[in-house]
A and B are shown apart, each in its own frame.
Chain A
């Protein structure tokens, strides 16, 4: 149990740092989605299953969809790293 929670928190913090450091915006959006998924599992372990369902559906699904559609409109939807801005 405690090792599983430690692994989850480590994955969550690592992908949160990756959101700030990745040069590619699409990869940053995917990393923020990983943060939301790990957070949903933590909510389920903290005895809040309704919040976990909402976080997984809205935080990881709808939010990533919004960010990805905004990326496509901004012209940042690309898989290579050059010339981010």
Chain B
């Protein structure tokens, strides 16, 4: 591909968007901000695909009449990446709506959006419901393994969790 100035700058923008999206996905600790980073990553991928079908002399495929196809001077841009990106934008909004619904459920259940707190409370819930002890190395002191969030959850939440488990069992028996 012959890189003229405009294409090079747009390529830089696409790679920059993908890099910023990946950095946000890996480095942020808030689940809502991770969704925003995912949206940016999708945008970068879309821009990259559109740029792959672009060449400087072409015209838009939807503006090409039947007369212009026989004319050798007119070339159209590749319409296939444009159709794919058109689909990918709509699917991206669907993925985003699903992620937001999951975030609303997480907020209702754990009352936080912090990723590490969510992970700790989820491991505690799983261990509590399945009657297993949390995995810990033999050398580590107890105060490091059972961190602050889990201790708080242990002080405040066992009755709550037990009641929720009972409700789930009752609901399961009713549904069954």
Which A residues are closer than 8 A to B by beta carbons?
1-2, 5-6, 8-9, 12-13, 16-17, 19-20, 25, 28-29, 32, 35-36, 39, 42-43, 45-51, 54-55, 58-59, 62-63, 66-67, 70-71, 73-74, 76, 84-85
C-alpha spacing A47/B39, complex, angstroms: 23
A43 to chain B, nearest CB (A): 6
Residues of B within 8 A of A (CB): 5-6, 9-10, 12-13, 16-17, 20-21, 23-24, 27-28, 30, 32-33, 35-37, 39-40, 43, 46-47, 50-51, 54, 58-60, 62-63, 77, 82, 85-86, 89-90, 92-93, 96-97, 100, 103-104, 107, 112-114
Interface of A is mostly: helix
**Chain A residue at minimum C-beta to C-beta distance from B28:** A20
Chain B interface mostly: helix
Pair A19/B54 contact, Cβ less than 8 Å: no
Residue of A nearest to B44 (CB): A16
Q: List 20 A-B contacts (CB under 8 A).
A: A2-B9, A9-B9, A13-B17, A20-B23, A20-B24, A28-B33, A39-B47, A46-B10, A47-B60, A49-B60, A50-B60, A51-B46, A51-B50, A51-B89, A54-B89, A54-B90, A59-B92, A59-B93, A63-B96, A74-B113
Contact partner, B107, options A5, A39, A74, Cβ 8 Å: A74
